[in-house]
Structure 1
Amino acid sequence: MPCPSWERATQWLLTSRGVFKEKFQDDGYRAQLRELLRLSWPMVLTYLSMYSMSCVSIAFCGQFSKEALDGASLSTTITNVLGTSVMVGLSSAFDTLFPQTYGSGNQFGVGIILQRGLIILFLACFPCIAIFINTEHLLLLLGQEAEVSRLAGLHATAYSFGLPGHALTCILLRYLQCQGIVIPNVFMGLGSALANVGIHWLFVFYLDMGTFGAGLALGISRWLFAIVQVIYVLAAGVYKDTWSGWSRECLFEWGTYLTLAIAGMLMLCLEWWCYEILVFLSGLLGATQLAAFTIVYNVATLTLMIPYAIGTSASVIVGSHLGAGDAEKAKVTYRVVLFVGVVEATIVALATFIFKDAIPVLFSPDLEVQILTSTLLIIAAIYEIFQHTKEILCGVLRGAGHQIYGALSSFFSFYLVALSISIPLLLLTELEDEGAWWGACVGVFVHSVLLLIKAQSLDWQEEVNKAQGRAGLVKDVILYSEIKGGNVPTRSNLPDDQKIIANGYKLRELNGSVPPGAMNGSVSTGKENGIHTYELVDMNEINEMHGDNIHLTSTDFNSISATTDKDEIKNNTTEAIRNGKGTPQVPFQMWPS
């Protein structure tokens, strides 16, 4: 007699298969799948090109001595953990702001965000560079050998000037991707990676500058990629729709950017630092354990470029749909991305398992290292299923602006779960490296589940409202007098010198004749009975000059009329509340001071 549970499971599988097949025969799903693949595969090649640069630097140093190899490896670890990860993490704010703003139609807002991000990331480079310059002293404090520390310090110091170039590359990659421009990045990335090999040969061998030359070469290669990107942006004219020149506006409203950027940095860095802790602890067990752990970690990092590229593409598509106000397309994109993520993770995991004996041979001639690495790769295959799915979910949540949740879940998963399991198994049991990787598996499993729960619970219409707020369509307010005629403009279609922005950021009246009292006033926003209300200081003085029909407008509200009739204001507000219209796009009266 058939088992009822088995029958139910079979029926669910058949039903799900039918629904799944029907969905992906739908034009909407197929369109989002095509767009995701169109944006993703070029970014995979681009990120692999960027990742290869530091690997080449280590390989060139390894031609001199074991100490030079160890020095370059430690330098790369320091610069990655305390520099590269910071720049990549801070630039994750662009995964939210660029596509949401561009998709909303506020294209010149993208240029303001670009300027703001350039300033913030370049400022963040200074403390990172200070650490790079002191790498030798830092490693000596940690107990590293003097010669290895010296060589690592030379490499990191020489490379330090390249960090701003890498930051600029991170920004421009996202700037171009939000506009759907990805193919040029492939050629620029591959070209820079090939040039990186030649530059290393020139400095390391021809000029005989050794480890210091390798650091210089890596820094030059980072700047080369960035400069080529700038040349492309200028020559191709892709900046014209989003750049209206430098504006003082980029010096304000840093709060939104920094909130997303710092949370995004922690979202990435907490995980990155977790693995570096395990690498360091693995080294306490011996050279064999360290070599095997490092090989598996490098393989996992290399394959991670695939879901990371898919995730950044997903953030662009999801963010663009949210900014454009299309909640349904954003939801469809999430489902497509999740499907692609599971398929990609499964394929990579199978490939890792199949080639578990061949991969170690490429990295080490030592038989003991090869055997241990092969064993660890079996665990890594399981790890990759959850890690890759998790990385793609991170992309979706970045596109929706949920970096804070990502950071908190990352801390919980990797520090309260993964490390609490990995460290005891690594140091106190015979499992050693295997125990560390099993702990990492549990950590990424927990993280992927937490991210999936969050993604499944998203209210996509609410995400649309939030996205349009971030895109500058809610807080940014202008004054406009009906006597000028025509349609009431919004901030996205006014030139910079005709904007009046809320809360004292910048106050300019359209025809330049602002009363003295108004110059000292501001537009403030509050919330009463579930409805946003605005108050304008010195409204009477402005009314005397421009009449009674001044409009306070933004895409948060279609039109808000100035009036001195408080009963009229009360009636209109009550009507809006009764009709449940206390949401964006609901017109109501502005209360004068």
Structure 2
Amino acid sequence: MDSSNTDINNNNVHEPMLQSNGSEVEPVSSELEEALSDDSLSFFQRIKKATWIELKNLFRLAAPAILVYMLNNLVSMSTQIFCGHLGNLELAAVSLGSTGIQVFAFGLMLGMGSATETLCGQAYGAQKYDMLGVYLQRSAVILTATGIPLMVIYIFSKQILLLLGESSAIASAATIFVFGLIPQIFAYAVNFPIQKFLQAQSIISPSAYISAATLVVHVLLSWVAIFKLGWGLLGASLVLSLSWWIIVAAQFVYILLSERCKKTWTGFSLQAFSGLWDFLKLSTASAVMLCLEIWYYQIIVLIAGLLDNAEIVLDSLSICMTIAGWVFMIAVGFNAAASVRVGNELGAAHPKSCKFSVIVVTSISLALSVILAILVLILRNVLSYAFTGGSTVADSVAELSPFLAFSVILNGVQPVLSGVAVGCGWQAFVAYVNVGCYYLIGIPIGCLLGFKFNLGAKGIWSGMIGGTLIQTIILVYVTLRTDWNKEVEKARNRMDEWGDKTEQLLKE
């Protein structure tokens, strides 16, 4: 569609759209859009009705998404807890291996997978159902290929950690754990495209059931491998990799058998190997955006490993990061809901619904994060005992709890706005913002406070929080000034562009 000839306004945003095969279809009706446009109601009546509608939509998506992310996080957390009871060295090794190496792969794969989230969400809203399966397969091909150089990083993880200045004992133990995580790389490569494929269709509950069942199996297998068979760190990481592959296999079986995916999954296609360069460019922009976010706080742990008394610092920081990560799963659930709602509504040409959905999801996520931050402060003296019995680590965690609480509040807003960015396709812009706020402001200030002013972990974390705060303010400002009618037009142009490429590939 030629954007110069398209007039997006309240009177014509519902005009028919085209399937990728050229047939004309009516856009998906929106109860929310109708409520917001109902002139027979007063302003407050419209807002009241729209809020109730959007809350139902939001929690129908966010609740199971939160459960999925929390259960998946508990799979990794349970491994850390088991290893923590082996000793402080093992806990530090798992923390460094997970936070310093594993999260690198996780961030890259999740980031690249968010390209699928943008395209699948908008294609589903535009009723171009046949493209969702193609996008899933293209993403899986690209992410699997990306897994090969990541595997090399895992293999040389000890040398990398030593080069970064970590102690030889911790680096050696962490490397043993990381070796067992190599199969997990390729589970990520398939899981994230499948996850985004299902989320775009608002199919999330099955993933929650799968994750819950996998958690039970994982805990049992981890206990047997670590304590009964004595396989230690390597056994713990191998079981973790196996658990992720169980999740992948179960979700794919669901796609094959479910009636809900009949229109969007039509089988394997050679189109998955066509147009990979364009898809890679979009995936790369998505990866840069999300990787810079995910890696940011993990860098705290790597930098903290250079401080004096590194073992205690690493233990306390890793516990705080694990708790923050667990709480972060709630915001990530709202992130997924925001991305799906915005992507679907943009694809369906419902600008008012997009704007209203962003307001509601951000407000709810922020309110919950404030409550959780208060709980962190109340429980600050006992938080660490779920991971280790040491009183020294417990005291260190208690001292860091105010920083943890403030981070929890910021994480109630920032991930949701990132979800909005993914739904709109703003990844490249947000990537530039992240570079400036995180890596040109946050990390340098954190290092200055931590080492030059001898504030240690508190100084490092303070700088990081400053960078996140500036980034959040920028995203709030940009979102508030967004013209959602123009975003609808951009979404239509994007779907037309990718649809035209598919038609061209089919003719070749």
**Offset of 1:460 from its aligned partner?**
1.1
Q: Does residue 285 of the first structure (1) align with residue 308 of the second (2)?
A: yes
Q: Which residue of 2 aligns with 1:525?
A: none
Q: Does residue 316 of the first structure (1) align with residue 336 of the second (2)?
A: no
Q: Does residue 349 of the first structure (1) align with residue 373 of the second (2)?
A: yes
Aligned partner letter, 2:361: V
Show CA shifts across 1:396-430 (max 9, x none).
11111101111111111111221122111111224
Tell me, yes or no, if the aligned pair for 1:78 and 1:132 is still in contact at 8 Å: no
Structure with more contact order per residue of length (Cα contacts < 8 Å, sep ≥ 6): 2
Q: Does residue 390 of the first structure (1) align with residue 430 of the second (2)?
A: no
Higher gyration radius (CA): 1
Q: Which residue of 2 aligns with 1:449?
A: 473
Q: Does residue 300 of the first structure (1) align with residue 324 of the second (2)?
A: yes
> Which whole-Å CA distance do the structure 2 matches of 1:421 and 1:138 have between them?
24
> Which whole-Å CA distance do the structure 1 matches of 2:485 and 2:422 have between them?
16
Change (3 A) 1:411 1:193: same
**Offset of 1:146 from its aligned partner?**
4.4
Change (3 A) 1:347 1:75: same
Tell me, yes or no, if the aligned pair for 1:89 and 1:266 is still in contact at 8 Å: yes
Runs of 4+ displaced beyond 6 Å: none
- Unaligned 5+ segments in structure 2 are 1-41
Q: What root-mean-square deviation, in Å, do the aligned CA atoms of Structure 1 and Structure 2 show? A: 2.4
Show CA shifts across 1:82-110 (max 9, x none).
21111111111122111100110100011
- Choose from 176, 193, 196 the match for 2:215: 193
Show CA shifts across 1:553-581 (max 9, x none).
xxxxxxxxxxxxxxxxxxxxxxxxxxxxx
**Offset of 1:206 from its aligned partner?**
3.7
Change (3 A) 1:292 1:24: farther
**Offset of 1:213 from its aligned partner?**
1.6
Q: Which residue of 2 aligns with 1:261?
A: 283
What is the correspondence of 1:149-228 to structure 2 with a 5 Å cutoff?
Answer: 149-228=171-250
Q: Which residue of 2 aligns with 1:339?
A: 363
Tell me, yes or no, if the aligned pair for 2:373 and 2:405 is still in contact at 8 Å: yes
> Which whole-Å CA distance do the structure 2 matches of 1:345 and 1:23 have between them?
28
Change (3 A) 1:216 1:366: closer
What is the correspondence of 1:530-545 to structure 2 with a 5 Å cutoff?
Answer: none
| Matched position secondary structure for 1:168 | helix
> Which whole-Å CA distance do the structure 2 matches of 1:417 and 1:450 have between them?
14
| Matched position secondary structure for 2:180 | helix
> Which whole-Å CA distance do the structure 1 matches of 2:343 and 2:476 have between them?
18
Counting helix residues as a fraction of each chain, which structure ranks higher?
2
> Which whole-Å CA distance do the structure 1 matches of 2:208 and 2:161 have between them?
36
> Which whole-Å CA distance do the structure 2 matches of 1:221 and 1:451 have between them?
36
> Which whole-Å CA distance do the structure 2 matches of 1:426 and 1:140 have between them?
21
Q: Which residue of 2 aligns with 1:48?
A: 70
- Unaligned 5+ segments in structure 1 are 1-19, 479-498, 509-593
Aligned partner letter, 1:294: S
Q: Does residue 73 of the first structure (1) align with residue 95 of the second (2)?
A: yes
> Which whole-Å CA distance do the structure 1 matches of 2:452 and 2:498 have between them?
55
Equivalent residues, number = 465
**Offset of 1:65 from its aligned partner?**
4.4
TM-score, normalised to structure 2, is 0.85
Aligned partner letter, 1:196: H
Show CA shifts across 1:309-358 (max 9, x none).
10111100110010111112111111212221321222222222222233
| Matched position secondary structure for 1:32 | helix
Instruction: Return 203-212 or 162-171, whichever deviates more.
Output: 203-212
Change (3 A) 1:347 1:402: same
TM-score, normalised to structure 1, is 0.73
**Offset of 1:63 from its aligned partner?**
4.2
**Offset of 1:179 from its aligned partner?**
1.2
Aligned partner letter, 1:507: K
Q: Which residue of 2 aligns with 1:87?
A: 109
Show CA shifts across 1:531-589 (max 9, x none).
xxxxxxxxxxxxxxxxxxxxxxxxxxxxxxxxxxxxxxxxxxxxxxxxxxxxxxxxxxx
Aligned partner letter, 2:344: S
Q: Which residue of 2 aligns with 1:3?
A: none
> Which whole-Å CA distance do the structure 1 matches of 2:77 and 2:438 have between them?
26
Aligned partner letter, 1:445: L
Aligned partner letter, 2:410: F
